[in-house]
Amino acid sequence: MLKLEYILIGKLPKTERDMLLENLRTERECGRNVLEWDSAKKHIQEGALAEKAILVSEDAKELSEAQRIGMAALCYLMPEDGRTQREETAGEMEVTSPADMYAEGMEEIDGSFLQHVYERHHRIPWIILKTPRCIVKEFSMEYLDALFELYAGKGMTDYMEPLYPYEEEREYQQAYIEQMYRFYGYGMWIVCDRNTGELIGRAGVEHREELGGELELGYAIGVPWQRQGYATEVCSAILTYVKEELMLPSVSCLIEEGNVVSEHLAQKLGFHYCETVQIDGKQMRKYKVAFY
């Protein structure tokens, strides 16, 4: 089983290196080794342990070598306002450095962040959050059949778009995983029962073109689990995640006229009615909640 065990530190400015090492002080307690790239790379290569490691570096050669042997990598990019003219030119080259993610500072880079980079490299779906009864995580293709079963429930598509035909939906979801999750780090997720792992719904946030790019909350709970508080439990946790983890200022939702249940949920979650807009021939009531 894939598991992050080695965090390798490559070339970094001293202040950034010191900050990163401070953030990683407790990693050994989690069974992880924090090592220098120069002293550990031979051991990692010869021991075929690259798939259990991640490199943090600003050096293109180090990053290329890490990626060549199948290792996850985080590239440090000097912030633009801290570069000289010569470094600006070099910075254009740095962006092309092979890495799974990029960072302009080490303030927020800790074991949890590096775990996410590692998972992205190995295409392991991120677990977004957990509630008392549910796990909210990124969609993976193994759930495709279960997703179709979910949407086949009576009334499931009364107020939302149905899935595409199977092959089209498969292609859409694969592209969504590769593009939406990788670019934004959020999107529409799946909701699974915490005890059984069974798919019971979907929920998440996406930028809605019809709202000028505003972030929209969406959810769908399968028929067998409706009217049991799951939507409130999951959506409330997602709003907290958007506010505290994503640090985004507000979330909107669009509810088709007549969908009284969803309007009551929105109000319960703290959303306030803004206006009614017409989208694709439907009257949609816009609600919004602001955090800041």
Provide the strand spans (E) within 58-143: 72-76, 101-103, 127-130, 134-137
Q: How far apart are CA 132 and CA 210, in angstroms?
A: 34
Q: How far apart are CA 224 and CA 108, in angstroms?
A: 40
What would the pLDDT profile of 54-95 be if each residue is shown by its tens digit? 999 999 999 999 999 999 999 999 887 555 444 444 444 445
* Averaged pLDDT, 248-271: 97
pLDDT attached to residue 82: 56
What would the pLDDT profile of 185-216 be if each residue is shown by its tens digit? 999 999 999 999 999 999 999 999 988 999 99
Quickly name the fold that domain 127-290 has. Aminopeptidase (3.40.630)
What would the pLDDT profile of 98-147 be if each residue is shown by its tens digit? 899 999 999 999 999 999 999 999 999 999 999 999 999 999 999 999 99
Domain boundaries, the chain: 6-121, 127-290
Quickly name the fold that domain 6-121 has. Rossmann fold (3.40.50)
Instruction: Note the pTM of the prediction, 2 decimals.
Output: 0.87
> How many H-runs (helices) and E-runs (strands) does the chain carry?
10, 13
Q: How far apart are CA 131 and CA 200, in angstroms?
A: 13
Residue type, 190: I
Q: How far apart are CA 29 and CA 218, in angstroms?
A: 38
